[in-house]
Amino acid sequence: MMNKNIVSGLIATALLTTGFASTAFAHQAGDIIVRAGVAIVAPNESSADVAGNGEFSVDDNTQLGLNFGYMVTDNFGVELLAASPFSHDVSLDELGKIAETKHLPPTLVAQYYFGDGQSKLRPYVGLGVNFTNFYDNEFTNDLGGALTDLSMSNSWGLAGQVGVDYQLNNNWLINASIWYAQISTDVKFNLADTPVEIETDIDPWVYMVSVGYTF
């Protein structure tokens, strides 16, 4: 009888532990999720021809990516994407690198998480808005003083994402996500004292792999 009681107690404990472990794998209403990892911005740029020297091209850049999520329900959440400042070389087809710029691209999205609150694996999609602030714009090759006064306007645009979380234990998870943002800027400068304005679409893909913590 004692052995049976011990076995019954162990089974009950195991069931309770399993139940708590299952619950721990949830993205549940009220959860706050913080993720940090590597973010790669890969511009898909296009512009008009620049004084017969071809289109602007913008190189890729990798920085620390951060995002902060809040689960409104078990399936709906909101998330803010942030990062350390991205730095890009700007080139022309005929001249090579001519300038550098930095930008910050905070992006806010509403998300839908597939599955239920007990799933370890939670794929999701998101849709929202991006704001990009360009700064520290400067020519690195001013063609002997012919290029001056470089500026790039800030941008507002739509943004989308797909991603997946995999919960490792009560709090820790790993994440992979892909973002796309509409970013368009007016590039202004003087060419031999003649004002020039070139509308340039950046429209980057952003790839991020991160580790997250759920509060």
Residue 27 confidence (pLDDT): 86
Residue 4 confidence (pLDDT): 47
| Long-range pairs of 69-72 with CB within 8 A, sequence gap ≥ 24 | 69/31, 69/32, 69/33, 69/34, 69/35, 69/111, 70/31, 70/32, 70/33, 71/27, 71/28, 71/29, 71/30, 71/31, 71/32, 71/33, 71/113, 72/29
Give all domains of the chain, ordered by start, each with its CATH number. 2-214 (2.40.160.20)
Residue 25 confidence (pLDDT): 58
- What pTM does this model have? 0.83
All residues at 6 or more sequence positions from 99 whose CB lies less than 8 Å from its CB, including other chains = 89, 90, 137, 138, 139, 140, 141, 150
What are the mean pLDDT values of the chain's consecutive 10-residue runs (215 residues total)?
46 41 67 97 93 91 97 97 95 92 96 92 97 96 92 97 94 96 96 92 97 96
DSSP bridge pairs for 76: 112
- Cα separation, 154 vs 116, in Å, equals 39
